[in-house]
Each structure stands twice: as C-alpha cells, then as structure tokens.
Amino acid sequence: MRGLYYDGAWQEPISNDTIEVENPFTRQIIQTVIAASEDDVDRAVKSAKAAFPEWKNTPIDQRIDLIKRLTLRLEARRDDFARIIRDELGCGKDLALNTQFLSYIKGMFTYMEEAKKIELAEDHVSYTVLKEPVGVVGCLTPWNYPFGQIIQKIIPAVIMGNTVVLKPSQKTPLSAIELFKEIDQVGFPPGVFNLTTGRGSEVGNVLATHPDVQMITFTGSTEGGKEIARLASQGIKRVILELGGKSAAVILEGADLNLASKRILFTVCSNVGQTCSAQTRVLYPEGLRDKLIKALERQAKEFPFATPDNHDTRVGVLSSKKQQERVAGYVDQALNDGAELVIGQPPKDQAGYYSELMVLSGVSNSDTIAQEEVFGPVIVLIPYQTEAQALELANDSIYGLSGAVYGPAEQAIEFAKGMDTGQIFINDGSGSGAPFGGYKQSGYGREGGKYGLLEFVELKTIFTP
C-alpha cells in the first residue's frame, strides 16, 4: 500500500487511515491507498520547502532534461497507464490511451519546447525583469482526468523551478502512485516531487492553509474552488482555479449538422459526460429540431456505451454510484418539469455504473438542467430565433469555460468573438499548446503550453543606473 512520497522516497504514514479504490465497471475494490493525515502533509510540505532553494537555482536546461527522461519513461509504459486509468475511472480503452494518457505526454513535450523559448531575464532600457519560481506549489487534481490533470499542474510548475506537493483525487489515486514510481527512478533531487493521497477536505484544506505553501492550483467543482480560494486567501497565496462548465454549442444556419453532431457527441460521450468542457447546451435555429435530432441519432452510433455484457466499447461507465444517482436525478427533474427525452433513458442501478446518451428537448435555458453542471452524458436542445438571441443564450450562464460555433467559418468566428468563454471551437478546429481556462465562475488562470508555464513564475524588477 502506497500513497505517501516525500524526501525522494516512499514513506510510512503516521496515520493508519486508508481509502478504498473502486473499479466502476464491476464495483469491486481494486486497491487500498494511504489516507494522509495533517502531520503527513506537513512533512511533505517541509520536504518541498527544503528542496526549493537548490531546485530554483538549477539551470532550466537541466530541469528540462530530467523532465524529458521522465516523459520517455512514461511513454514507454503507455499500455500500463492506460489500463490503470481505465480500471480506476471506468472509461473506454481508446479514451484511456489516447485522450487520457498520450495527449498529455504530447503536452509534456510541448511544455519542454515552450520553456526553452521563455526569456527568464528581460532587459529594458533602465530595468531588468526576472521571471522567478514562486516556491512550494500545492496541486489538487480531480478524478475525471486522473493522469492528465496531474501533468497539467506538476510539470509546468517543476520546469519553472518550483517544488510540488500533489494531492490526487481520492477516487482515482492509482495513476498518481504509478507516476511517482517513475519519478522515483529518474533522479530528481529529493523533495522536488511529493505525493500525499487522502481526502480532499483534509489534505487539500491543509495545503491551502499551510504557511509554507506559496501557491495552489486546483481543478474541480466551482463550489470546491470557492472553498479553496477562501482558505488560500488567508495566506494571500497565488491560486489557479479550473472549475465547472456548461458549454454552449451554437449551431448557425448553414452548419453541417453531421459534423456538428459528431463533434458535440465526442465532447459529451468520450468521458461519459464527465468533462467540464463538454458541449451539453446545444443552441440551434428554430425549425431545425427534427433534422438535428436525426443527425445526433446517426452520429451516436459511433459512440457505443458499455453494457453489463460488453465493456469493450468506445464509451465507458460513470465513475461512481454518486455520479449515477446525480445524473438520474437531474434527468428525472427535467422530465418532471416538462422536458422530453428524445434520445436515451435515465441510468438505472445495475452491477456497474452504466449509463447511455440522453438528449432532452423542450428545455428552457433557465431550467436547472441547462444551468447546472450535470457531469454526465446529457445534452439539452434549446432553440433560438435570431443570432442575437443565440448569443444572449450562450452567455446566459455563470460559467464560461468552453464552447463551440458550427456554421460558415467567417460567420462563426465573428459570433465566437462575442461569447464570454475561455476557449471556443469553430467547426472541427483544434490545436495543442493553447491556453485552457475559464471566464466567470469557471475559474481563473490558464493551463497549457507557454501560458501554463508562465502561471508558475513571479516577476521581479531590478532598476539599473
């Protein structure tokens, strides 16, 4: 049993408390991990603090070289990590390997390349601006991307000269433990990377208030982010928050409905809707309802969901009984409020946490299911009469994390400029290394590429005669 790593070695916990990890496909307990105590966390933070002065002064080229060694080790074990992610999260095989793992390995290479381009000392006429590491960074990661969200936090932080204490989700800590097994073999100075598995309300809160932690980066629910921000404010810590979303997919007149449906379903189905950037609000021109539903039905055949008799499918299962009940509750409420279920049925209690795609019509943008994050494979269809109304509806949300516009390219780009959203996809557009983060209650700060690296530096100005 592992879960506590500091001073460059696996450690025995002070507490005997443990956490059981469940396989969502079978509901079987597959492993037990350490539930770190406050004293365990304190020791991990002290380890990170002690390592910081040396690591801060290690040339960035040497830091990048060590990260590259780690990246190559991880890449060589792709199948092992994909299996672990699949077992603890309940996702499909393709998603586990390509989206949950390999896309973030690619991101590690991007971080390294972008770091080489950053000018750490900018000389101006009468002053120099230095980019210096912040210090000890507490990294709090969610269960829905158990490997990738760790990479998005610890890798840019460490490349830029910070030391880290990671607290992965208690639901999916196995990827983190396996990752630290590889970190342990690379040769990083003791204390650069530290791991504490445990409960968020305990470990996370300790990190957020610890006087020797200078920065917190958190991904999770908006309510959780509010609490972390409140706790961190007591010590005026720097905070990055990547929170919830209720992303709008706006279909314009002239859009390719098959393309739009395919892209929308990819964001909603791939991780069984358990993605903060899933395009779950679909705004469409009034009069296209039937054509849109037919297009969604056609494209849905490309996203078969797991069943009790078949786990070897593109789409897996929901992560837990709590998630299954949450999704069913939202859908039942919407149906009671007058919505129509045009595709799929609500999830039922079975041997595993199975679900299927659900598409609801007859929904108003003010309805609960259109405003709150369901975190399941549920799409609501909302008609509009004019583009001005569509823009108003798209922005009528407390969230602003992601979105999409489908239609003639130039028209779609102009529409996107009016959306209060951190990232917007036009038709099938995509790219790596771009900044990811939200507006409004979707959080603040950015992850990815150059922008993710620069979140982990302080600016120091030295005036010269």
Q: Active-site positions?
A: 242, 276
Amino acid code (one letter) for 52: F
Instruction: State residue 327 phi and psi, 5-degree precision.
Output: -60, -50
Burial class (CB in 10 A: 0-12, 13-18, 19+), 27: middle
Is residue 212 a contact partner of residue 45, using CB atoms and an 8 Å limit? yes
Neighbours of 190 (CB within 10 A): 14
Rounded Cα distance between 253 and 200, Å, is 46
Cβ neighbours, 10 Å, residue 28: 11
Contact of 124 with 202, CB cutoff 8 Å: no
Query: If you write DSSP's letter for every residue of 366-379 in order, what string do you get?
Result: TSHHHHS---SSEE
Looking at residue 314, the DSSP 8-state letter turns out to be S
Tokens of 331: 């859908």
The closest of 131, 132, 139, 133 to 232, measured between CA atoms, is 139
Q: What's the full length of the chain, in residues?
A: 465
Q: Helix, strand, coil: what percent of the chain each, to 5?
A: 40, 20, 35
Distances (CA, A) of 366 to 54, 248, 271, 369: 54, 13, 26, 8
Question: Within 13 Å and on the Cβ side, how many CA atoms surround 374?
Answer: 34
| Cα–Cα dist 251/17, whole Å | 51
Phi, psi values for residue 354, rounded to 5°: -75, 155
Report how far Cα 366 is from the mean position of its chain's Cα atoms: 26
Structure tokens at 153: 């936090």
Q: Which of 166, 139, 162, 165 is nearest to 67 (CA)?
A: 162
Q: What angle do helix axes 148-159 and 60-76 make, rounded to 10 degrees?
A: 160
Question: What are phi and psi for residue 392, nearest 5 degrees?
Answer: -60, -45
Tokens of 122: 């900018």
- The DSSP bridge partners found for residue 216 are 138, 239
DSSP 175-231: HHHHHHHHHHHHTPPTTSEEEE---IIIIIHHHHH-TT--EEEEES-HHHHHHHHHH
